[in-house]
Amino acid sequence: MTDQLRHRISAADNEATRQAEFIAVCALSLAASVTGTVYFCRSMSGGMEMPGGWTMSMTWMRMPGQSWTASAAMFLLMWLTMMVAMMLPSLIPMLRRYRNAVGRRGETRLGLLTTLVGAGYFFVWTAFGVVVFAVGAALASIEMRLPALARAVPVAASVVVLVAGAIQFTRWKANRLACCREAHVHSCVLTPCAGTAWRHGLRLGIDCGFCCAGLIVVLLTIGVMDLRAMAAVTAAISAERLVPSGERMARAVGYVVVGEGLLLFARAAALI
């Protein structure tokens, strides 16, 4: 056996080992995040009955004796756990494309660089979570003080879901989805360094955040701690990115969301 053949076999073995390690880490991360999400959903179930026949989730409430800082920290922990569970299935192919692009350069720190890409990606989602908590807590406080406004929430929620469904049919959504699916992986611009990996993760997170904004708003409107809604939104996000015809899938998801919005509107109108 020649030295060149031995080198090729050794390189192939190393690549297979790295791929197996990557898959194992992703699987463990997904399992841990799903377990954590289920725990949070069960521990934060229930809420406060509000005028208009709906229930305000405990997510937006500050517990007795709890500071707003502690409440925000608990929400962000829950939010990040939930985002990992929801977004990791569609992020894994992006991470693999990154690894393939950087690995062609003979880079040996693929594990560290891939971790930085993932950290940048979920840092963006954490930043979104800060905004979500601030807006959600402010709206909850206003709704508890103004019963008339609380009664309008079911109708307003149905309108929000309808708008989110309509966005699925727009050119803006198609452009954002195409940008997210391509993932901007070009070997000529991805240098194997920590700074580039972090910035690439940030770019992925921003693209994904804009693309998923409508569906995430649907989840927040229907019930952020509803496991069934969470599973449905996760399936929709993953399908948009992973099936061959993503734009067609986005429109199919749009029909489902619009249908849900009409159902919510009918229920809200019946209570008026």
pLDDT at 217: 94
> Of the given ranges (96-110, 159-173, 199-213), which has the lowest mean pLDDT?
96-110
Percent of the chain with pLDDT over 70: 89
Full DSSP string of 161-226: HHHHHHHTTSHHHHHHHHHHHHTT--TTT--SSHHHHHHHHHHHHHHHHHHHHHHHHHHHHHHTT-
What average pLDDT does this structure show over 137-161? 89
Percent of the chain with pLDDT over 90: 49
What average pLDDT does this structure show over 62-68? 78
What average pLDDT does this structure show over 204-220? 93
Give the closest residue to 41 by CA, choosing from 79, 88, 68: 79
pLDDT confidence band for 211 (50 / 70 / 90): very high
pLDDT at 84: 96
What average pLDDT does this structure show over 133-150? 88
pLDDT at 110: 83
pLDDT tens-digit readout, 41-56:
888 777 778 887 788 8
**Residue 52's CB: how many other CB atoms inside 10 A?**
20
pLDDT confidence band for 187 (50 / 70 / 90): very low
Domain ranges of the chain: 3-271
**Which residues, in sequence order, are bridge partners of residue 56?**
48
pLDDT at 63: 74
pLDDT at 14: 61
pLDDT at 186: 46
pLDDT at 6: 55
> Of the given ranges (10-19, 108-117, 248-257), which has the lowest mean pLDDT?
10-19
- The H or E element spanning position 55 is strand 54-57
pLDDT at 66: 78
